[in-house]
Structure 1
C-alpha cells in the first residue's frame, strides 16, 4: 500500500507540468455548468475523466512503463494507484459539483431547469466510474497514443449517456413505473454496490492485462 500511495503522490506532483491542459477545461466545464444547468448532468463524469485521463496519458507518453520496470514497485501496485487516483478524482468532482449546483440555484434564470439533486449526483458518479473503469484498462493495454481513438468514443459516450438517462427520466409515465419498482429497494445502497463491482472488475482486468504486458 505504501508504494501505491507513493505512485499516487508522484502522479499528482505531475499536475504542475500539465496544469494548463488539466485546469483550463475544468474551469470551462464549471463556468458553463453554473450558467446552463443542462451541463450539470455531465459535469461529474467529464471532470473525473478529464483529470484521470490527462494524468494517465501524460505519464504513459513520458515512459512511466519503463520507470515501473526499473524501480522496486510491483505492477499490480501501479495498477492499484490508477484506481486510487480515479477515486480521489471522483471525490474532487463531487465537491465541485455540489458547489456548482448550489451556485446554479442562486441564478434566477435557472429556476425550474435544475434536475433532482440526488438523481444528478448518483447518475454522474456512476457514469464517471464506468468511464474510468473503461479508460484505465485501455490506456494500460494500448497506451495513450494507440488508445486515443477509444478515448474519443469514450468521451462522446460520457457526454451523451447522462443526457439520454435524464431524457428518459423526464418521461412521466415511465418514471412512475420505475419509481414504483425502486421504492421496494434502497437505490443508494444498490448504486454503491454496483459501482464497487464495476471498479473491482475493471481493476482485475487491468491487473491481468498490465502484468502480462511486454514493455519494450
Structure 2
C-alpha cells in the first residue's frame, strides 16, 4: 500500500552516462570550494567560534551513518546472490534467503526518516510477488537501490560495491550562516574490476545533536548499470514486490 504523502524517490534507469555523473561531481567540487570560502570567512568573524567543531561533528556523524547505509546496501548484494542460488520450496513459498532480504530492510529503516518511505510497513516487511512500486521510476530507501545481475542470476557481490563518496554540509547563499545540522551525501556503486560507476545516490542528512536520519533520496542507475539489471526491472516493469 502506498503511503499517503510519501515521497517517491526517483530512479533514472536509462540514458544516464558517465558524463552526467562527472558533471554532478564537478558541481560538488564547486560546492566544496564554496564551503571552504565560507569557513574561512566564518573563522575571520568571531560570531560563532565553535563553528568548525560543529561542522566536524556534523560531517563525522553523517559519514558514520552514510557508511552504515553503504554497508547495508552492499549486504543486499550478498542476500540477493544467495536468494538467486538457493532453491525455492517448490510451492510458491519464499526461501529463507528471500525472507532475509525482507528482514534486512529494517536495517535501512532506522537510518531514514519515515517521511521518505514509499510503502507502509505492512508492505515493506512481507514477501510478496506483487508490485510494491514501479522499480523503474521509484525506490523506497529500505529496499535495495541497485542489484547487479548476470542474466537472471544476481551477480557475485565481490564484483561491485557500494561506498560513501562525499559528505557536504548544506550551503546557504551568503550572508546566511553555514548550517551545522544538515548535509548532503553521495554514495557510489562501482564495478570493482573497472571502477565504472553503475549507480549512485544522493540524500539529505539532518542531525539533532544526538542522532541523525536521511531523506530526499535519489538513486540514479547509469547506462552501464542498466546493462546488468534484472530484465524485469525497467520503466513500468514489474519488480516482483521485492526486486
TM-score band, normalised by shorter chain: 0.3 to 0.5
Higher relative strand content = 2
Normalising by structure 2, we get a TM-score of: 0.30
